[in-house]
Structure 1
Amino acid sequence: MTIKILAISGGLRAASSNTALLRAAQQLAPEGVEIEIYEGLRDLPYFDEDLEGDVPAAVTALRERVAAADGVLIASPEYNYSIPGGLKNLLDWLSRPYGESVLTDKSIAIMGASGSPFGTVRAQNHLRDVFHQVDAKVVSKPEVYVGANYTRFDEQGNLADETSRNLIAGLIAALVVQIQRNALIGASA
């Protein structure tokens, strides 16, 4: 059985190092694990409770993709010590309607790259707070904070740093374990 992971980048730039992290994750995924990168972040309207009665098609499609995935992998930059606005907007849409979030009990892994020597530690902590609110199952380790991102990628935008690649491979392995654990708990319930 193939494990399906939906990967979401919080970076909108064409040359986003966070999207590049997701491409590296695709390369590092073990056999039996399929990682698909979501490319619709720009298409989402701003979250607005007035739209909840007539949910926009882009939001419905995203919710369906998250619900169908066994797990979610997020790579996020850090802006002003926090989560980028586009990613927060996406998470707000996924958290609704209240009590019916497609993120509840979903296995989630988080990583990120930035130019800061601290990587994306603050943004990832804020993401953990969001996922705590919706009762998602977040992988706690390994933590993947790719700092000084401008030194970690080659000229084609590929992740060349072996330490970062090893951490991402470990994160994917931990996400797979979390997915399998959730499946066992769900089967016994």
Structure 2
Amino acid sequence: MSDIRIVGISGSLRARSHTPALLRAAQKHAPGGVSVDVHGGVSPANFGSVRAQRALRQVFVRTDSDVITKPEAIDFRAYERFGEDGNVADDPTIGLLQDLLAAPTAKAA
């Protein structure tokens, strides 16, 4: 059993969205003691995702959930970071994900 559980939520329902692929890569490259649960898109509408994020933040506050807000994962020219199969194929991007996944471990220490 993992000590730290990360919940990854993709705001996109698009089949070729990069966000679910990044979340799958996070699952694959999570450090020991960390598990990543991936959940699908939250809204099919243009502004629904923004509203869903706001509501989710309120849930986190009410439940006193531990939320990691930094570092942010921003991957410029993301289209260059994925292979034909839709998976992350770029070592620097995998490194960024691993750094991001280490943040909860450091916070818990």
TM over 0.5: yes
Matching of residue 103 in structure 1 with residue 60 in structure 2? yes
Specify the structure having the higher radius of gyration (Cα). 1
Say which SS state the counterpart of residue 5 (structure 1) adopts.
strand
Q: Taking CA–CA contacts closer than 8 Å with sequence separation of 6 or more, which of the two structures ends up with the larger relative contact order? A: 2
Superposition pairs of residues 27-38 of structure 1, within 5 angstroms: 27-38=28-39
Matched, 1:16 2:32: no
Whole-Å Cα distance in 2 between the matches of residues 107 and 42 of structure 1?
24
Deviation string 1:124-183 (CA, Å, 9 cap, x unpaired) is xxxxxxxxxxxxxx22x3x421111121100001101111110110000013322x15xx
1:85 and 2:47 are equivalent in the alignment:
yes
Give 1 or 2: higher strand fraction. 1
1:169 paired to 2:98: yes
Q: 1-side partners of 2:21 and 2:41: how far apart?
A: 16
Q: Trace 1:56-135 onto structure 2 (pairs within 5 A).
A: 85-95=47-57, 101-104=58-61, 105-109=64-68
How many residue pairs were aligned? 106
Structure 1 alignment gaps of length 5 or more: 47-83, 96-100, 110-137, 182-189
Percent of matched pairs sharing the same residue: 37
TM-score by length of 2: 0.80
Matched position secondary structure for 1:35: strand
What is the TM-score when the length of structure 1 is the normalising length?
0.49
